[in-house]
Copies of this chain bind each other. A is one copy, B any other.
Amino acid sequence: MSNDKEWKRKLLRDMVVIRTFEETADKLTLRGKVAGGMHNSSGQEAVAVGTMSALDPKDVIATTHRSHHHTLAKGMDPKLVMAELFAKATGCSKGRGASMHLADVDNGNFGGNGIVGAGVGIAMGAAMGIKQLGHKKVSVGFVGDGGMNTGRTWEAINMAVVNKLPFICLVDNNQYAVETFIDRVTGGRDIAKRGAGFGLPSFTIDGQDVLKVNRYVKEARDRALAGEGPTLINALTYRYYGHNVGEKGQYRTQEEIADWRDNRDPIDRFSAQLISEGLLSQDEYVALHAEVTAQINAAVEFAEQSPYPDLSTIYEDVDSGLLGAKS
């Protein structure tokens, strides 16, 4: 029970870390600190934290252009993420990738991606590697609602099904692709039904409910480890900000945004639940926020203080150089 309390408080904290990170990074981006902009995931925290809390730290993920939340939830120090956004040499990708290309492959984060749909394939491939080497792990490929219309996504899902790979396709379904509403471009409008057609257990769930996401991912993981193959989880969620920093657009109403923010915010919901369950006091919640804010401020400080990549390094690590080595 005390374990459960700690665990739930950790989930809440992880979501607050993401939210605080994103809102901080958003402002810094508007101030020109993040070259190329960033894709804010505020509102989608429960999908990331619900998923990652159901995984083993050694499980694999691969993700999308919108990946701060996944990356932080997967356990990366916010310092390394912020430094990467700043394109600093101390960032997780040495400043080469910035916001879209966060990775820590050795710790199971196979990276964000500038190409819609590509992460699903890479995660599926990792699942093939896991199965090949006989390991007891799973691999999760994140993809947006928009990415469910790229053909490669379905090729990857099919490959996972026929090879019974330990794979989970996690649709971070925020209902918009840039400014395009899902229903306008998604034949059938029901992503889980598409999944069922490809022969894998497929569920549409409330992505604002961190425990629900956790439970579905856990069950999917158990099936995968039991050799039963992949699962598709279509998690309904919402992003509060524009597609990229600073973007507004007329493609959705302020009422719609307010509705999601006010009535379904995953952090508000979960903190209220913990408080009502007596697992957290209001004071503790305030303290948590303060603590997280300090942590994120330290990350900003770290990023600010860090050096940019040395320009001499731009030639490095393109290939191993070993192929041409005369033995």
> A-side interface residues toward B, CB under 8 Å?
149-155, 157-158, 160-162, 184-190, 193-200
**Docked-complex contact A196 and B198, CB < 8 angstroms:** no
Decide: B195 and A199 in contact? CB cutoff 8 A: no
Q: Which residues of B contact A184 (CB under 8 A)?
A: 162
Cα separation A159 to B225 with both chains bound (whole Å): 36
Across the interface, name the chain B residue whose C-beta is closest to A187.
Answer: B161
Contact indicator B152/A151 (Cβ below 8 Å): yes
Q: How far is the CB of A225 from chain B (nearest CB, A)?
A: 20
Residue of B nearest to A157 (CB): B187
- A188 and B193 within 8 A (CB): no
Which of B155, B160, B187, B196 sits near A158, CB closer than 8 Å?
B187
> Within 8 Å CB of A154, what residues of B?
151, 154
25 A-B contacts, Cβ less than 8 Å apart?
A149-B155, A150-B151, A151-B151, A151-B153, A151-B154, A151-B155, A157-B187, A158-B185, A158-B186, A161-B187, A162-B185, A162-B186, A162-B187, A186-B199, A187-B200, A188-B197, A189-B199, A190-B197, A193-B197, A194-B197, A194-B198, A195-B197, A196-B197, A197-B197, A197-B198
A196:B200 contact, CB within 8 angstroms: no
Bound form: Cα–Cα A186–B196 in Å: 13
Contact of A150 among B149, B155, B189, B198 (CB under 8 A): B155
> CB-CB < 8 A to A149: which residues of B?
155, 158
Query: Inside 8 A of A185's CB, which chain B residues have their CB?
Result: 158, 162
With most chain B CB atoms within 10 A of its CB, the pick from A157, A196, A197, A198 is A197
Please, which residues of chain B bring their CB within 8 A of the CB of A196? 188, 193, 197
